[in-house]
Amino acid sequence: MSAPDEPRSHWAWGLASRLPDLAARTLLGEQVAGLLGAGPFAPLPEPSLDEARVREPRCPIPADLAAFATAERAVRARHTHGRSFPDQVRAFRGDFLNAPDLVAFPRDEAEVAVALAAAEREGLAVIPFGGGTSVVGGVAAPTGTAHRGVLSLDLRAMDRVIEVDREARAARIQAGATGPALERQLSDHGYTLRHYPQSFEFSTLGGWVATRAGGHFATLYTHIDDLVESVRVVTPRGLLATRRLPASGAGPAPERLILGSEGVLGVITEAWVRVQERPRYRESASVLFASFHAAVAATRAIAQAALFPSNCRLLDPTEALINLVADGSDSVLILAFESADHAPSARLDRALEIAISLGGRCPRGPVRRVDGGGRAAGDGSAEAWRQAFLDGPYRQSALITLGVVADTFETCCTWGAFPALHAALARSAREAFARCGARGTLSCRFTHVYPDGPAPYYTFVATPGDRDMLDTWAEIKGAVSDTLVAEGATITHHHSVGRVHRPWYEQERPPLFGAILAAAKQAVDPAGVLNPGVLIPEIER
Ligand SMILES: Cc1cc2nc3c(=O)[nH]c(=O)nc-3n(C[C@H](O)[C@H](O)[C@H](O)COP(=O)(O)OP(=O)(O)OC[C@H]3O[C@@H](n4cnc5c(N)ncnc54)[C@H](O)[C@@H]3O)c2cc1C
Backbone φ and ψ of 88, nearest 5°: -70, -35
pLDDT of residue 403: 97
Nearest-10 crossing angle of helices 85-92, 380-401: 40
pLDDT of residue 372: 59
Written as tens digits, the pLDDT of the chain (541 aa) is 545 557 999 999 999 999 999 999 999 999 999 999 998 999 999 999 999 999 999 999 999 999 999 999 999 999 999 999 999 999 999 999 999 999 999 999 999 999 999 999 999 999 999 999 999 999 999 998 899 999 999 999 999 999 999 999 999 999 999 999 999 999 999 999 999 999 999 999 999 999 999 999 999 899 999 999 999 999 999 999 999 999 999 999 999 999 999 999 999 999 999 999 999 999 999 999 999 999 999 999 999 999 999 999 999 999 999 888 888 999 999 999 999 999 999 999 999 999 999 999 999 999 999 985 555 444 667 777 778 888 999 999 999 999 999 999 999 999 999 999 999 999 999 999 999 999 999 999 999 999 999 999 999 999 999 999 999 999 999 999 999 999 999 999 999 999 999 999 999 999 999 999 999 999 999 999 999 999 999 977 6
- Residue 370 Cα to ligand 1 midpoint, Å, equals 33
Q: Is the peptide bond before 363 cis (omega within 30 degrees of 0)?
A: no
For the CA of 127, the closest atom of ligand 1 is 47
- Residue 69 Cα to ligand 1 midpoint, Å, equals 22
One DSSP character per residue, 231-264 reads EEEEETTEEEE----S---SSS-HHHHHTT-TTS
> 96 CB under 6 A from ligand 1?
no
Residue nearest to atom 1 of ligand 1 (CA): 393
> 210 CB under 6 A from ligand 1?
yes
What is the DSSP secondary structure assignment for residue 363, as one 8-state letter? T
Q: Which of the listed residues 174, 193, 198, 457 should we mutate to test ligand 1's pocket, taking the one with most ligand atoms within 8 A of CB?
A: 198
pLDDT of residue 324: 84
- Residue 132 Cα to ligand 1 midpoint, Å, equals 7
> 476 CB under 6 A from ligand 1?
no
* Rounded Cα distance, 219 and 174, in Å: 26
For the CA of 268, the closest atom of ligand 1 is 42
How open is the CA angle 400-402-407, to the nearest 5 degrees? 35
- Residue 462 Cα to ligand 1 midpoint, Å, equals 26
- Residue 10 Cα to ligand 1 midpoint, Å, equals 17
> 267 CB under 6 A from ligand 1?
yes
For the CA of 214, the closest atom of ligand 1 is 11
> 83 CB under 6 A from ligand 1?
yes
- Residue 208 Cα to ligand 1 midpoint, Å, equals 6
What is the DSSP secondary structure assignment for residue 440, as one 8-state letter? E
> 130 CB under 6 A from ligand 1?
yes
> 263 CB under 6 A from ligand 1?
yes
Is residue 161 within a helix (H) or strand (E), and if so which, with residue range? strand 161-165
Residue nearest to atom 2 of ligand 1 (CA): 199
- Phi-psi region for residue 190, left (φ > 0), alpha (ψ -120 to 50) or beta? left
Could you give the 3-state DSSP secondary structure of residue 22? helix
* Rounded Cα distance, 2 and 67, in Å: 10
Q: Is-contact 260 235, C-beta < 8 A? A: no
Q: Please list the residues that pair with 449 across neighbouring strands.
A: 454
Round to the nearest angstrom and report the end-to-end CA distance of the chain: 34
Number of helices (H), then strands (E), in the chain: 15, 20
- Residue 438 Cα to ligand 1 midpoint, Å, equals 31
> 135 CB under 6 A from ligand 1?
yes
pLDDT of residue 373: 54
Contacts 24+ apart (CB under 8 A), 522-528: 523/237, 524/235, 524/236, 524/237, 524/240, 524/265, 524/266, 525/235, 525/236, 525/237, 525/264, 525/265, 525/266, 526/236, 526/237, 527/120, 527/236, 528/146
* Residue 42 CB-half CA count within 13 A: 0
How open is the CA angle 21-24-30, to the nearest 5 degrees? 140
Q: CA nearest 85: which of 403, 389, 443?
A: 403
* Rounded Cα distance, 428 and 435, in Å: 10
Q: Is-contact 524 265, C-beta < 8 A? A: yes
Q: How much of the chain is helix, strand and coil, in % rounded to 5?
A: 35, 20, 45
pLDDT of residue 377: 44
> 88 CB under 6 A from ligand 1?
no
> 216 CB under 6 A from ligand 1?
no
pLDDT of residue 371: 85
- Residue 194 Cα to ligand 1 midpoint, Å, equals 17
Is residue 537 within a helix (H) or strand (E), and if so which, with residue range? none
> 142 CB under 6 A from ligand 1?
no
- Residue 237 Cα to ligand 1 midpoint, Å, equals 25
pLDDT of residue 323: 86
Q: Please return the burial class of 65, using the count of CB atoms within 10 Å of its CB with bins 0-12, 13-18 and 19+.
A: buried
Q: Which residues make Cβ contacts (< 8 Å) with residue 371, sequence separation at least 6?
A: 278, 280, 281
> 200 CB under 6 A from ligand 1?
no
pLDDT of residue 73: 97
- Give residue 112's Cα distance to chain centre: 25
What's the farthest any 2 CA atoms get from each other in the chain? Answer: 70
How many other β-carbons are positioned within 10 Å of the β-carbon of residue 160? 15
Residue nearest to atom 44 of ligand 1 (CA): 263
> 410 CB under 6 A from ligand 1?
no
How many other β-carbons are positioned within 10 Å of the β-carbon of residue 51? 7
For the CA of 131, the closest atom of ligand 1 is 26
> 206 CB under 6 A from ligand 1?
yes
Residue nearest to atom 7 of ligand 1 (CA): 197
> 447 CB under 6 A from ligand 1?
no
Residue nearest to atom 11 of ligand 1 (CA): 213
* Rounded Cα distance, 206 and 261, in Å: 11
* Rounded Cα distance, 91 and 52, in Å: 8
Looking only at the bridges linking them, the beta strands covering 311-315 and 191-192 are unpaired
* Rounded Cα distance, 117 and 219, in Å: 42
pLDDT of residue 344: 97
> 14 CB under 6 A from ligand 1?
no
Side by side, which strands form the sheet with 440-450?
367-370, 281-289, 331-339, 311-315, 440-450, 453-462, 405-410
One DSSP character per residue, 43-88 reads PPPPP-GGG-EEPPPSSPPPGGGTTTEE--HHHHHHTT--SSHHHH
Is residue 481 within a helix (H) or strand (E), and if so which, with residue range? helix 469-486
